[in-house]
Amino acid sequence: MKLKSLIMACAAACAFAAPAMAEGGMFEGALPENWTADVVAAVRYNWYNFSNWQKDGSSNYTWLVTYDADVQGKWKIANWRNLIDIDFGQTWTKGVGKRKSADRLFWESMIDFNMTEVLKPYIGNRFETQFMKGFEYSEDEDGNEIKTPISSFMDPAYETQLAGLAYIPNDNFSQRLGFANRMTISNGYGYADDKDTEKFEKFRDEPGLESITEVKYAFSDIVSFKSRLWAFCNFEGVEKIDGLWENLLSVMIAPLVELQVGFDMAYDWDLDEDAQYKNMVLFGLTWRWF
């Protein structure tokens, strides 16, 4: 009954919020006519403090800053698209300490050549890394926490050169398939190292095939959904495949207030033979630029 009441309350909030929503973003109309943009910045913060609280509970806080941009310029011969995703956040729990909740720097730039209305050869480049150090947490025999660094800024970093053919029938769907040369940079933590050799490699070059499927749809002015499925297979064999499936449902509850529900699934053969999963429900201030 509680779940049903919560769903009804959310639906009612969305219905009453719709007339209050302003169309577009704060800088809508500032771009040239041949440019389109979907740019959103958000800040989210949760804080709980317990003092002599007899019921179950631990003091904690969580903060998250995100920036998500999809900017595209269109010309007769070609289109130029840039995707930028910046996520950084931390969570603190009493008795546990600080942990990272998000840490990502992603930039993808592609040029599509208008060979036909729907089939477009493309070239591009992608860069991925993180901002802060990542740790693996364990305990010694006395129960004291041990923090072991396992990653940092530019370690690892991924630089990928792309070329292929895209099928883009409309603004809501695209399918890309082509060659990708994925370079891994890791100076200290071994993400680029070949365990079968004695030498410690800091750089790895992997040519292979890449597929990118993107779907995005606006159900209304306040509800939108987007999904991106990325898969890479180097030429060594299909068992060396990497993949990332990202899904995000966004609901504008009120001006500058947004609810996001997301599900991500990742697979990286070099890190773990099992798939990785992430679920999230985010609520906070959102600043739509375009």
Could you tell me the CA-to-CA distances from 69 to 30, 37, 143 in Å, in that order? Answer: 16, 7, 44
Residue 18 has pLDDT above 70, yes or no: no
Whether residue 77 has pLDDT greater than 80: yes
- The answer on pLDDT for 2 being more than 60 is no
Position 142 scores a pLDDT of: 85
> Which residue would you say has higher pLDDT here, 54 or 250?
250
Q: pLDDT category, 24, cuts 50, 70, 90?
A: low
The overall average pLDDT reported for the chain is 87
pLDDT digits (tens, 9 = 90+) for 138-178: 988 888 889 999 999 999 999 999 999 999 999 899 999 99
Query: End-to-end alpha-carbon separation of the chain, Å?
Result: 39
Confidence at residue 65, expressed as pLDDT on a 0 to 100 scale: 94
Q: Which residue has the higher pLDDT, 53 or 44?
A: 44
With a CB cutoff of 8 Å and minimum separation 6, the contacts of 51 are: none
Q: Are the CB atoms for 245 and 11 separated by under 8 Å?
A: no
How many angstroms from the chain centroid is the CA of residue 229?
A: 11
- How far, in Å, CA of 162 to CA of 199, rounded? 29
CA 283 – CA 42 distance, rounded (Å): 9
Tell me the pTM: 0.85
pLDDT tens digits, 191-222: 999 888 889 999 999 999 999 999 999 999 88
Res 20: pLDDT = 35
Distance CA 166, CA 227 (A): 17
Average pLDDT over every residue of 25-30: 78
Where residue 82 falls among pLDDT bands split at 50, 70, 90? very high
Q: Residue 190's closest CA among 162, 230, 148, 241?
A: 148
Percent of the chain exceeding pLDDT 90 equals 62
Domains of the chain with CATH codes: 2-288 (2.40.230)
> 83-131, pLDDT tens digit by residue?
999 999 999 998 888 999 999 999 999 999 999 999 999 999 999 999 9
Retrieve residue 282's tokens. Answer: 């985010």
What's the whole-number mean pLDDT along residues 274-290?
A: 86
- Looking at per-residue pLDDT, the higher value among 254 and 217 belongs to 217
Please enumerate in sequence order all residues whose Cβ is within 8 A of that of 290, keeping only pairs 6 or more positions apart, or say none. Answer: 24, 25, 27, 28, 30, 31, 36, 37, 38, 39, 71
The two three-digit tokens of residue 21, written as one number: 């929503």
**pLDDT category of residue 69 using cuts at 50, 70 and 90:** very high
